[in-house]
Structure 1
Amino acid sequence: MDTTATQIDVVEQANNIADMVTSSDVFDEYKQAKANLRDDKQVMEKIAQFQTLKEKYEEVQRFGKYHPDFDSISKEVREKKRELDTYPLVAEFKRAEKELDELLTDISQKIAYAVSPFIKVPTGNPFFDQAGCSGGCGSGGSCGCS
């Protein structure tokens, strides 16, 4: 069998999988939740306010607990993050995003493990990542992956 033909077949199958994902209910729910989020002026204002506050927080973080506003900015960021995360459209978007991420992780794992059970697929969940390794072994240290 010709290598080029095999590569073309693999790419074609990958495109088929991508088409199946983008035509799935999970993807449709994600797109709808994202559109609902984008179309809500109130939530977009809250996100913009949070981004501004986050920039202040990052500036304060440079100095850590020695910055005079460290405690107040840190507390305000946590409060605004909680407020944003509990906003119904944001919560719905995060749920849909998580479901899509889980689908893509499942697909990635099936493909990787079909090749070899030793391929590490980062799941974002250390419980499921093999030996706590999520592919970040390039640091030169001993990460404990087997």
Structure 2
Amino acid sequence: MFATMEFVELLEKSEQLGLMIRDSAIMAAYSSAQAKLYQDSETKAKIDAFTAIKEQYEEVQRFGRYHPDYSFIMKEIRSKKREMDMDANVAAFKIAERNLQKLLDDISAKLAATVSVNVKAPRAGAAWKDSGCGCGSGGACGCAS
């Protein structure tokens, strides 16, 4: 492929867009929230506890309810997940993560629409928003109510 001036200009503009996203307030909030996850010892302990029980959960999943620790692990993983999710730093991170994802989705949609109305842009959770049925076909399957 030959590098044309148009191609080089397109690459430069995409790099500028990437730098704008990286330098945005939304990205700064995301980075700050992510850093706090592992700086706070209490939050880190909750994440580590959840990670440890998650490994046990994956082992139990191999055998299902026939595993001797099935009931205990199932209760414990829900408990640890709730503890982790209720932590202020984890909650702030999830909000920042959703905001960043929304920004990226909006940019993708804008770029796709600029090219053509027929270009589809991926969106977080779009499969659940299209028709309400979860198949992501937008009702083409006939399962939408």
Is TM more than 0.5 here? Answer: yes
> 1:129 and 1:18 mapped to 2: Cα distance?
28
| 4+ runs deviating over 3 angstroms | 127-131
Residue of structure 2 in register with 1:77 after alignment? 77
CA deviation string 1:54-83 (max 9, x = no partner): 000000001112212222211211111111
> 2:61 and 2:128 mapped to 1: Cα distance?
30
The reply on whether 1:132 has 2:125 as its aligned counterpart is no
The reply on whether 1:50 has 2:56 as its aligned counterpart is no
CA deviation string 1:82-105 (max 9, x = no partner): 110110011001100110011011
TM (normalized to structure 1)? 0.82
Tell me the number of residue pairs that the alignment of Structure 1 and Structure 2 aligns: 134
Contact 2:46 2:83 in 1 (8 A): no
Paired letter, 2:80: K
Structure 2 regions of 5+ residues with no counterpart? none
Q: 1:25 to 1:73 in 2, by over 3 A?
A: same
CA deviation string 1:25-58 (max 9, x = no partner): 1111111111211211111121111111000000
Give the match's secondary structure for 1:132.
Answer: coil
Give the match's secondary structure for 1:123.
Answer: coil
Cα RMSD after superposing both structures: 2.1
- Kindly report which structure 2 residues correspond to 1:1-146, keeping only aligned pairs within 5 A, or say none: 4-125=4-125, 126-128=127-129, 132=136
> 1:59 and 1:76 mapped to 2: Cα distance?
14
Structure 1 regions of 5+ residues with no counterpart? 134-142
User: 1:122: Cα distance to partner?
Assistant: 2.2
